[in-house]
Amino acid sequence: MMLAAKAFFGKGNFVILAVLVITAGLVSEHFWTGENIVNVIRAASLIGIVAIGMNVVIIGGGIDLSVGSIVALTGAVAASLWVSGAPFILFLTVPLLVALSVGIANGVLVSFVGLQPFVATLILMTVARGAGLVYTGGQPVYADYPDFLMFLSRGTLLGLPVPSVLFFLAALVTWYIMRWRVFGREIYAVGANETAARLSGVNVASVKFKTYLYCALLAGISGLILTSRMESGEPGQAGIFWELDAIAAVVIGGTAIRGGEGSVWGAFVGALIIGIVANLFNLLGVGPAWQQVAKGAIIIIAVTLQLAANHGLFARLQDISLLRPGQSREWLKPLASIAVVLLVLNGILYQAVPSLYQIDLAKSPYTRANNLELTRVYHRAITLYEDVIDRFPDSNYAVLSRIGIANSARGSGDLDRAKSAYASLLADVNAGVIDADLRFDILRNYATLLQETADGEAFERVFAELKKNYPDSDATREAEVFLNQIRAAAAAVDSGVLPDNAPVVITSNDVVLPETATLGERMDLVIRVEPRGDQFADFSLMTNLGFWKGFKLVKATPNPRSVSEFWGRRAWSFGKLTEPMTITATLEPIRAGTFEFDLDVERSFDVLEYGIVKTIVVGE
């Protein structure tokens, strides 16, 4: 046991881990905080679980490029099942069965068809990613998981994050299999010399098949944890480049890429190294591009140290005879040269990229909040943004967090808060409190919000400022189109005359919408539409998006040919009308407040203003 421990700690990966931990503690006083250590372990665990499976495949002489796609596909299936109300047991088992099916395909192509592992798993990487996109229609699936399910990714067990406990258990079980079971010894034998293993009676095809199955299972477990953490299934974004991170962790851990040699605990340490590097760079405010550069450098160092360890260099360094007078200079000269080169490179980087040496502790929590906003988990994003503002009021990320709160409030349907937030941001920009570089984004998002809420008066003020500062921008041109629509609608109301090319006739009396409603109680919206003379044409009924923040469509009779959203409105598309039609839409109020229903008609991408506006008040 002592010899095994000594051999492990003599490996290059442990040297790198020790150096990184010491360095991280020296350059950032926040590295050793309890909260940060938990974040490091939790972040490393997801890649780590995948890396453990990848390690088994590589030791067996293969490689699996499909693990990232398996993570994404598993999360998409799990989120879809939860949204559809599937039983909890199906939510857990079906995604894992899907992951195993990809592993089976990998195993069959490599073990029985005879494809090269790189080619076979590259095929399944593409197929699995594409299957997830097809299954979800190319869109993320947002699942509001309950607290007991969030325990899988955010909970703690004996003071440790649950993902890290699962990571350790995965490593422990895999170590037991590889160290003490016949199957584990067969994997090493196949990876070292496939022909010799076959002549020794090992079923090589079966061993390879099982390694891909095991790797897919662990990737599926990681996918379940990730979807729980993100509260969504992201078929297009989840697991991107995870296969490369997993391979990096395995290589850093000392596993030979040719197979037949490697350690489970080495891969465990490699995943921790990847996690510590990412965390340290986040604490230092270093961008993801530089993180990729550093990851590559660490892989080079790890491989070099591993080669040195394999050739017994570390054992020779323990020989005191190497440090005898007269021979010490032979070691000092190259070490001094390396130190000088590192100092020079450090100085060049400091002058060329000073941001590498600037610490902004607000970046890490801001990034987490921004990721939640991008995945539409708005309620949690707002809480984290508020935390950034409270803890780091003087940071640039505090201002960005205010913008994030406005965007998240808009996304969650809290339109009054969003309006107030954008108005406050715009006032601070005009007063010089906020950098003027942020003016365009604030104006653009504010104008879009006012389009959705059909607040014409406020929109005209924001448009005037947008046109004054950015007259040639696409946002200004789109806003001008909407402004012309508002003015045309006002003119239509005043004149009571339909546009000349209007394909249908709809009057205010033809639209029946209750004046009041109660949350959760369904109601009907009725729209009577008549054809207009010889103006036969396909058309769409256009309604303002602000109205749909308060209502959910249960069903519409007859069904529109398609439903889309553009220009701040929702469009129901219908074909040419030759006889009167009555559209009945059953709605369910989902938010209390006062909502305006603004109805117009679109023909050939030209919005015709009918000036029909109804108001409904939704009570608790």
The domain 10-316 having CATH identifier 1.10.3470: the answer here is yes
pTM for the whole structure = 0.59
Distance set, CA 393 to CA 157, 281, 290, 579 (Å): 33, 21, 27, 63
What per-residue confidence (pLDDT) applies to 164? 86
Q: Quote the CA–CA distance of 242 and 265 in Å, as a whole number.
A: 19
What per-residue confidence (pLDDT) applies to 216? 92
Q: Supply the DSSP string of 221-286, one letter for each residue.
A: HHHHHHHHHHTEE-TTTTTTTHHHHHHHHHHHTT--TTSS---HHHHHHHHHHHHHHHHHHHHTT-
Q: Quote the CA–CA distance of 227 and 231 in Å, as a whole number.
A: 5
Section 196-214 average pLDDT: 89
Where in the chain are the domains?
10-316, 363-492, 504-619
493 or 68: whose pLDDT is higher?
68
Q: Express each pLDDT in 94-107 by its tens digit.
A: 889 999 999 999 99
Residue 97 has φ and ψ, to the nearest 5°, of: -65, -35
Q: Quote the CA–CA distance of 165 and 213 in Å, as a whole number.
A: 22
Q: Supply the DSSP string of 124-163, one letter for each residue.
A: HHHHHHHHHHHHHTTS-EE----HHHHHHHH-EETTEEHH
Residue 573 has φ and ψ, to the nearest 5°, of: -95, 135
What per-residue confidence (pLDDT) applies to 9? 44
Section 336-359 average pLDDT: 56
Residue 552 has φ and ψ, to the nearest 5°, of: -115, 130
The yes-or-no verdict on residue 575 having pLDDT over 50 is yes
Q: Quote the CA–CA distance of 110 and 108 in Å, as a whole number.
A: 6
Lowest mean pLDDT among 365-379, 424-438, 549-563: 365-379
CA torsion, ordered 305, 309, 310, 313, to nearest 10 deg? 110
Lowest mean pLDDT among 326-335, 442-451, 491-500, 512-521: 326-335
Q: Which CATH class for the 504-619 domain? A: mainly beta
Mean pLDDT of the chain: 79
Alpha carbon distance, N-terminus to C-terminus of the chain: 68
What per-residue confidence (pLDDT) applies to 7? 46
Three-class DSSP category at 377: coil
Q: Express each pLDDT in 228-250 by its tens digit.
A: 887 778 887 788 888 888 888 88
The domain 363-492 having CATH identifier 1.25.40.10: the answer here is yes
Cβ(204)–Cβ(198) below 8 Å: yes
